[in-house]
Structure formats: structure tokens, C-alpha cells
Structure 1
Amino acid sequence: MKKYRHEVKDPIHAFIQFDEDERKIINSLPFQRLRNIHQLSLSFMVYPGATHRRFEHSLGVMELAGRVFDVITSPYKISDEVRGLFSDCDVDLNDNSVLNYWKKTLRIAALCHDMGHLPFSHAAEDKLLPVEWDHERMTREIIEKSEIKNILENEVSLVIKPEHVVKLAIGPKKAKDLEFNDWEILLSEVIVGDAFGVDRMDYLLRDSHHSGLVHGKFDHYRLIDTLRIVTPPAETDNGEKSKEPSLGVEEGGLVTSEALLLSRYFMFSQVYFHPVTKIYDLHLTDFLVENRNGQLFPTIPVDYMMITDNEIMMNMYNAASNKDEKGHKHAKRIIGRDHLRVFYQRYPSDLSRNKNAVKNVFNAMRNKYGEDFVRYYHMPAKGKPASFLVYQNDDRADYALNLSKVIENIPTPENEVVYIDKSIKDEAKKWLAKDRENLINFELEEEDADK
């Protein structure tokens, strides 16, 4: 008997279900390639369990996107005002065929949203793609110019427009040449939104699980159940309201929203900005640039999809064992776990006296020991948590920052690190202890501070 519904076991969502159309996307080469793209680059060198891939993450994003769609389009969640707003987009929220089309499109977009990632995800994106290219643009290329387009137009039971998948998968910030209506903007928020995007929900839960840290966990069941479409409060003297709907949360979900944002802070602090994972990423980037002799990754989908973590690791092992291979030094640092060591980081007491304290230490170290032995890396602040609307119990909407002191005071993760070769670490410690006060108090020239 032919199955029309399929399921896979998942450590985060128990079971993930999908239909025959979605299975065709899952079985495609662009999606299967994600089995060989690590979610967290080389973080498994620090957190041994963090070997998960973008394949299962993308399945999880599809699962959550479907759940969110069902909740926010429930008749009990949609006011007449909201229905009227979307009628201007030719979207009838009373028409099940319309809802079925957009739910299917959203779930497929969720499957496709990470197809454009380079080997080892974000590690070398800015160095190995052409100018003005990133993984979102590559994702769009794959959707529009690979077998995905043919599947959407010719092989599924409900024909899906590739342009709709692109819009929902990467959003208006990354597809500025496309015209979005309010409905498309809202659905793209479901996947890539700064506040309640299910991409973020899944990666926090999944990365936390596989890294062995509890910091990324939050009650996503409760959070999703309290999501709804909200319009902003009146902000003019005559009480006129903005008519731009967005993804918000009911008052009962505010605490869970706080937990989501705190999870993000903790995971950035403990995992994504971990100084040792970052130095591995730097060594990896150096290796890729040198091993490929500066050659950029191809942007033609059929060629791009032939490159995964597997090919990179094979080249890396080969280079590590052969000093004549390009990238030997960097490959050996990774394979032999001989990475540069953390020497100096941001210390509040030092920064309060001089905001350039870390850069001062780096410049002095570089001048003393040379660039081969010293490295500087700044992990800039990711910005304050996104503001979002809360639908209060009295049927009014207000911004979360006006209602939550927790959200208002969530710190912004940032780190700045000086790394050195282990061969000079002991000597450098003595040198820093002797000259620390002079280095901290030294004022950089403006152009040096900006480098």
C-alpha cells in the first residue's frame, strides 16, 4: 500500500511528519546535500556532541512552521480587522484552498531555507563567495535554477510558485528586488523573523540539545500556542492605527517569549561566541582560502552542490599530513588540535578605563611576536532583542519592551579575543603582567582603533 504520509523520529520534536510532495523536496539532491553540512561548523571540536547537520534542522524548521501556521490561521485567533487587511493581498482566510496552498508553500520554504549554505555553514562565507553573495542568495539560486524548480512546478500535487518559496524562505531583507505584500512578509517572519522565526526556535533547541547545554531550552509548545497576528497600537494623536500586521504573542506567552530571548543570549555567550570554536573557524577559513588558492566557490547550483564538508575534510586531512600541500599549516592546527590559545579577552575593569584595551594588547603582542603567533578576533554585538507586539487580555496591543523589564535588560552578547601560539604563552603571560597597566592606559590613534 502506497504511503501518502511519512514520518521520521527526531530528538527535538519526537516525530516529524511530511506528505508525498514534501518528500520529493527532501529526496532531492539540494536537500540531501544538507546531510553533509554541519550545523555548527567545527564546534564539535569543543562540544563533542555537536555533530548535527542542517538536514535535520531544516526538517525541524518545516515541522515548527506548519505548527505556527495552524495556530495563527485558526478562526479563533483572527479578528475581522485582520481578515480585512489580508483581503487586500487577495488572501481569503476563510478559503481552505487558499490556506492549504500557503501552508504547503510555507513548509516547503522552511525545507529550502538553508540549501545555500557553504561547507561548514557560516565559517568562510564572507571570504569564499563573490561580492554581494551570501548563503541566502545561493538558496534563491538553488530554488530557481535546480531540480527544486521543476519539482514545484511539475511534480507536486499542488503547483507551487518558486517565487513564493523564495520570498518565504529568505524574506524581504534578502530579496529586495522582489515585491512583497503584507501576507508574504508575515509568512516570511514565521521562518526568518527576528522575534519568533522558527529557524531560530529550532536551532536554539537543537544546538542546545546536541552541545549538551541546557541554556537553549524554552517551552516552544506554549510559545507557539500563544502566537497570533497582531496590528500595532495607535500612535497618532487622532488614534489612527498602523495597518501593518506582524507576528506577535498573546499576553499569556510573554514569559515564554522572555525565555526564548534569554536562551538566545545564553547560547550566543556559551556556544556561538565561544572563543575556542571561533579560533577553529578562523583556522578553517585560512585553510580554505589557501587550499583553494583563493578560488571562490562556484555559484552555479549544479557545481555548488558537489561541495560539502566531506570534500573539505578529505582535503584537510591530506594537507595536514603533507607539508607541501596548500594550507598545511592551518590544516595541521585543526587536525592536531594545535589551535592558537586564548590569551586575553574583554574584561570589564579594563574596558571601563579604555574601550580599546583588547586591541592595545593585540597590537603590542603582534609587534613583539609577529603575526604568525598572534591573532585578534572581534565577535560584535548582535543587537538588542527584536521588539514585538503583545496582544493583551483587554484586546489592546503594546510593544514587549513596554511590558517586560526582563527583555529590556537582556544583555547583548559580544566578545573580543587575543589568541597566541602555545609556544609563547608562558612568556607572554609574564610580559603582560609586567606591562599591563601601560597597555591598558595607552590611547590608540583613531585609525588603529578602527582596524
Structure 2
Amino acid sequence: MEFDKKLVSKILDPIHGIIRLTEIEVKFIDDPLFQRLRTIKQNTFLYKVFPSAIHSRFEHSLGVMNIAYEVLKNLQLNSFRFTKKNNDTSDVFEAVDQIPESNVQELRLAALLHDIGHGPMSHQFDSFLPTNESFKKQLSQDFPELFKMIGNNAIEHEHISLIFVKTIYDNLCKEGKLTKKQQESINIDNVMMIIESKYLNKSINTTIAGKELDILPMLTSIISSCPIDADRMDYLQRDSYFSGVKCGIYDSNRLFMSIVPVIEDDKLYLAYTESCIDSIAEFINARSNLFSQVYYHKTNRAFSAMLDSICQAANNSKINPDKDIFKSYLPSNKEKTDYLKCIKSFYLTNSDSYFLSTLLPRILSNSEIKTKGKRILNNLKKREPWLKVYEAKIYSDNLDIKNGINKNFKKQLKKEMSEILEHIVEDIHYSIDIMTDNAFKDIEKTEIKLLTKNHLNKYSLNSFEKCGDKLDKHQSVKYFVRIFLDKKYKNIINDDILNEIEACKNKILNEYTKEI
């Protein structure tokens, strides 16, 4: 692509080899808010099970950007190859090479910055995020479109990512680190829309080959979609490599060869050819295996359960009555204009290690259960995991790709198991850990298409959601149910209690059999 001429810097990566960068990307990477990702592990406690899994969200973000660009280049090449090979190509878009370089740069930046809002301990920090009401009160004037998109939903790390994307861009412009030409070469709102397609206008319109098209569906699908996207493609390879468990392997070249850009109702989409279904299944199986063998490893989940228990206690802390952890970083003269600064200060200060060793103990010291909480935290630091006292694995059969996780089943199971345990041990000393794996998670949201061929060798364009006849056999939904218990209380769980828990699980499973 012509854009290759802008790739003037490089970084060596063990997964992708040479990752090339533009001047604009280097300036975003050099910002402290991005550099802090070096201190946030990709998988919080996985290194306690697989010692080499100490890789961070920094290199993962670079990897996602690299894959996103590879996908775009292959879309261009495959459109030429597909139209030359097939007569019926009315749905295929042949002018990907004419997508403006500004939009290519926006895609790469979106891929690079998609995880920038992750706090310390990654997903497990999300429980500390302030309430929607508190956040809106402080920032709605600065980010009106963001809060219009959020509505009444809870604040998540993806929303912090959008705030940081805009913040870094504004700082680079203000400090003169981006030249005027560089500023004009990208639209930061487009970057934010590619990360979160519901943001702002929900479209990126550009004129290609004399026709105005919305390219947002294709760009968003490259980074985040079901069942395959650049994010998943990188973390499967990276987490498999650094854990040493070779089960996240898939044929990326086969996937790259099978993608084509398609046009429908003046919108561009990413599509897979029907011949790629076996490779898609291979990818789905690789992901499923990595979840069951690595992410859901009992010891890894035990440490996560311990942290969850501490976090629940910390959220009841007296240090922040309004449960806004960022306010502890406000300067003495509390002004609304300082709130964004204190968010930045919090994220720049709190690495994984600082959060565990300094902030969390400080929060617990103001908690009603500080002694119990600190003991659990010390056990976590000393690598003394809770015991797994119960485990059940539930596999759903005869599914179609639109069948997902039954949240009511999970909720009911956790509720009734808690009622059994709460009479014999305090809830801070145990955790009911229900992890799930849905091969086609969020399939109803994906905008990826499937090009299918009929008996007359003619292609038709279909949404993935409507291709159950070809994909249902690859669907799987799994529930991993475990109960972890502080070793101090191991003698209180006897066979009678375990039998009661098993009977509880079977009863609820029978009630939901037709739904899961």
C-alpha cells in the first residue's frame, strides 16, 4: 500500500517480527498514558501459574495494530484476486487501495489505543470505576457525546479508553508535538468511533471511486468483531507463546487469504468466503482451548477469586463514601476542571504492583474488615491460593450460533450456592467462581459477512448470524463452576455440604435444561 511509505520507525516483537510505525504513532506511543501499559500485565495473575506470562498490554496493543494493518492489506489484495477468479463479483468492493491514507492511519491508531483505558489488574479493576452519576457530574461537559452514548449504563474501561484517546491527542496538539499537517491528517473522532462504533455519528463517510461510502463497519470489524478480530488474533498467539501452552495456535495465513471487502447499501463490510469455515472453526477451537487450559486454570482463577473478594471489601471502604476512587487523587482545591487530571494521575501512578502493594492496603486499612482483607492480600502476594473445594463443568448441546450464555442460570446458581455457604463461612473467605465460554459471543452484534456459494456457483452475501446451517455445528457454550475457599476454613466443608451443593446445581440445571 502507498501508506507503507509513512512507516519510518520499527519495533521488534517476538510474535510478529518487525512492527513498523508512523511518526504520528510514535508520538502517541511516547505519551505517558500509553507507556503506562508496560506496567499492566495482559493477564493479571497468569504468571503465578505460567512464570513467563509476564507480557503486558503495551506489546499486545502494538500487535493488534500490526494485525489490523495486515488485514486491511489482505482485503485489498484479495479483492483483486477474487474478482479475477470469479465472474459473479457484484458484492465485492475492488477499491480498498483508494481508502484515504487518513482513514488508514485512524484505523491503526484505533487498534493501537483500544486498550489504553485498562486500569491496574486489568478487568478486575473495573469494579472500582465510579458510578455513572458521579462520572457524568464531573466530565459530561467535556465529553458530551461520550455520555450520550453511555446513557444509563455502567462506566467501563472502554469508556476510559475513549477519554484517554482524546486527552492524548489534545495534549500532543497543545504541546506542539503534532505538526499542523499531522493534526489535519487524522480526525480523532473517527479513531474513537472505530474503537466504539456507537460513538458520535456512527459512520465514517468517504468518497471512493466517485461514490460516498460508509467505511466504519469494515474498520470496526477489523479490530473488534465475532468470531475473529485483530484483538483476538493477537492475544491468542501472544498468550499461548508466553504461557508456553501451545493450544492457541491457528492458521493466520489461511484466514488472511479468505477475507474480502464487500459493499451493501453504500456501506463497506469485511466478509469471509465460505471456503474458510474450517479455518474459522480452527480459530474458535484454539480460543476455546486456551480459555479452558490457560485462562480458566484453577490456580489462576483462585488468585482472581481472592482479589475479587478483597475488591468487594474495598468497595465498602470508608475512604470514598461516594465510591469514586479517583477523587482521592484530587488536589486540595477541588475543582471540576481538575477531575480529568486526577484520573490521569491515578492511572499514571497505579501500576499492577503499586495497586497491590500500596493502594489496596491503604483502602483496606479504612475498611471494616481490614484484618481479614489484608490477610487474604498477603496470601495472594505469597502465592498461597485458596483451595478449590468444588468443581462442575457444564456443556450445552444442540446449540445454534445465536444461543449464548444464560445469565439467569448463572445468577440463580450463584445465589442458591451462596445461601448454602453463608451459614457456615463469611463471604469474604470463599468465592463462587462461574466462568463461561461462548464460541460465538456477541454474534448478534457483529457486522462481518459471509460470502456463500450456491449450486449455480453464484455468490450471495449473508450476515454471520443467519448462517447457522454452516456454523451451528461449531458452536459451544461452557460453564465452569468452582468454589474456592480460604485454606483456614478447609475443614468446615464436608461431604454433606458438597452433596448439598451438587444437588443444588443439578436442580437448577434441570430447571434451565431447555434454555441452556
TM-score (norm 1): 0.79
Q: Does 1:33 align with 2:56?
A: no
CA–CA separation in structure 2 for the residues paired with 1:417 and 1:363: 15
- Between stretches 337-346 and 418-427, larger displacement belongs to 418-427
Taking the TM superposition and a 5 Å limit, the aligned residue runs for 1:20-419 are 20-74=23-77, 76=80, 81=91, 83=93, 93=96, 95=98, 98-131=99-132, 132-147=154-169, 150=173, 154=180, 156=182, 159-172=185-198, 175=199, 177-181=200-204, 182-230=214-262, 245-288=268-311, 290=314, 293-294=319-320, 295-298=323-326, 300=340, 301-306=343-348, 307-315=350-358, 327-347=373-393, 360-382=416-438, 384-385=440-441, 386=443, 388-392=448-452, 394-397=457-460, 398=462, 402=467, 408-419=473-484
**Distance in 1 separating the partners of 2:488 and 2:496:** 14
The alpha carbon displacement at 1:317 in A equals 9.4
Contact 1:37–1:53, Cα closer than 8 Å, also in 2: yes
Counterpart CA distance in 1 for 2:308 and 2:166 is: 29
1:247-304 deviation line (CA, Å, top 9, x unaligned): 2212343221111111222222223333432332233244456297455343725324
Secondary structure class of the residue paired with 1:193: coil
- What is the CA distance between 1:62 and its match in structure 2? 0.7
Q: Cα 1:143–1:433, aligned 2, differ >3 Å: closer, same or farther?
A: closer
CA distance in 1, matches of 2:438, 2:506: 28
Compute the displacement of 1:206 (Å).
Answer: 0.9
Distance 2:504 2:372 in 1: 37
Q: What is the percentage of aligned positions where both structures have the same residue?
A: 23
Q: Distance in 2 between matches of 1:395 and 1:171?
A: 32
1:436–1:24 distance in 2 versus 1, CA, 3 Å: closer
Q: Does the CA contact (< 8 Å) of 2:217 and 2:267 recur in 1?
A: no
**2:44 counterpart of 1:12:** no
Q: Tell me whether 308-317 or 208-217 shows the greater mean CA deviation.
A: 308-317
Q: Structure 1: give runs of 5+ residues left out of the alignment.
A: 85-91, 233-241, 350-354, 447-451
| 8 Å Cα contact 1:378-1:415 kept in structure 2 | yes
Match of 2:497 in 1: 432
Offset of residue 430 of structure 1: 3.4
CA contact (8 A) 1:189 1:197 kept: yes
CA–CA separation in structure 1 for the residues paired with 2:274 and 2:508: 49
Structure 1 residues 296, 341: closer, same or farther in 2, change over 3 A?
A: farther
Q: Rate the CA distance shift 1:129–1:316 in 2: closer, same or farther, 3 A.
A: closer
Shift of the alpha carbon at 1:14?
1.8
User: How many pairs does the alignment contain?
Assistant: 417
Residue 236 of structure 1 corresponds to none
In the superposition, the TM-score normalised over structure 2's length comes to 0.70
Cα distance in 2 for residues equivalent to 1:147 and 1:243: 30
Deviates more, 1:356-365 or 1:48-57: 356-365
Q: Which amino acid aligns with 2:354?
A: E
Instruction: Tell me which moved more, 407-416 or 199-208.
Output: 407-416
Alpha-carbon shift at residue 47 of structure 1 (Å): 2.2
One-letter amino acid of the counterpart of residue 290, structure 1: A
How has the CA–CA distance of structure 1 residues 389 and 5 changed in structure 2, closer, same or farther, with 3 Å as cutoff? same
Partner of 2:486: 421
Name the SS for the 1:379 alignment partner. Answer: strand
Q: Deviations over 1:46-65 (max 9, x none)?
A: 22222110000000011001
